[in-house]
Structures are given as C-alpha cells and as structure tokens.
Amino acid sequence: MDVIQIQDKTFETLITESEILSAIDVVAEKINNELDGKRPLFVCVLNGAFMFAADLMRRVKLECEISFLKVASYEGTSSTGRFKQLIGLNEDVKGRTVVLIEDIVDTGETMVMLKKQLYDMGVADVRMATLLFKPESCRKDVTPDYVGINLPKDFIVGYGLDYNGYGRNLTDIYTLINK
C-alpha cells in the first residue's frame, strides 16, 4: 500500500496499474465484439480520459477513427443555470456510431449532456465507455455501456484524474484518506 501527498491531501493506493489494464482488456474485448463493422468514431473527453483512451485504443482492433473534445461549463443567465458546451469536435458525426471515452462517471450529468448534444448533431448511436463508475452517486437513469471498474463515492486521483491539476501522471489510482 502506497501513501502519497498531493498539496493538502493524503491518498492511498486503491487500484494498481495491472488491475486497471486487466479491466481495460475486458472493455476492449466487448467493444471489439459489439461494434465490428460499424466503423465507430471514438471521442476522448479531455482532460481526464487521455490515459484510458490511449490504453483502450491500443486494444481496439476495429476500423475506426479517434477524436478529442473538451467540455466547457459556464454560468448561464437564464433559470436553467449551468450550460456546458462542446469544444473541438470537428468531424461530421451524422449517422455515425460514436463511442465517448470518459475517465469516470460520477453524477452522470456530463454523460447525459454529451449524449444529448451528440444526438442533436445527428449521431445514430452514442455509446459511453468509462474506466470508472460510481453507481451510488449516479443520479441519472442511465448507465454507461462499457464500464471498467465500479467504485464507491470517494474522491480518487491518478491515471488521468487530478486533484487541482496534479496527479494525472500517476500510473495507479489512489483514494483520499484525510477528508
């Protein structure tokens, strides 16, 4: 068990690199079986999913494209409150199968918003692949199509996920111990 410090917080090892990679093997196999012949467009949701996307795509053997997007949030002036906007998806997505690659699905807000925007852009089938899923936090009546590992609600860092911008380069995943 490895204990690390990032700024004011202490974390301990939760999932090792080899456990992460075994989970990704399973996700990739499922995608290879289910999406054969569909020429999917994989879309990595930056920043957090960059490491998962790299390891996942090395294992996907389909004819496919890979792209990247960022999600920008801002405070709206209307009563609907918070809006989120896609940045950087330039491909023509009409009629395609799109697989969103996320690091983690927590409340499910981001997943629901992204799916809706992609369907509004004319995508035929939107699927969600996430390395990590917190089923107890997920408020939405939706589950990701491909999940690597289910987790409790606790805050985690590593393998792409950050605390105040730090920790993304850690190869294992760590959980917060001093709350």
34 binds ligand 5GP (CB under 6 A): no
Euclidean distance between CA atoms 34 and 65, whole angstroms: 16
Strand order in the sheet with 156-157: 3-6, 9-15, 173-176, 156-157
DSSP one-letter code for 78: S
Smallest distance, Mg ion to C-beta of residue 49, A: 6
Q: Which positions from 126 through 165 interact with ligand 5GP, judged by CB under 6 A? A: 155-157, 161-162
Smallest distance, ligand 5GP to C-beta of residue 175, A: 8
Q: What share of the chain is helix, strand, coil (3-state, %, to 5)?
A: 20, 35, 40
Tell me, yes or no, if 106 is annotated catalytic. yes
Determine the interface stretch with ligand 5GP among 25-33, 80-88, 89-97, 101-109 (rule: CB under 6 A): 101-109
156 binds, options Mg ion, ligand 5GP, none, Cβ within 5 to 8 A by partner type: ligand 5GP
108 binds, options ligand 5GP, Mg ion, none, Cβ within 5 to 8 A by partner type: ligand 5GP
Q: Which of 108, 103, 102 is nearest to 138 (CA)?
A: 108
The residues that are catalytic are: 106
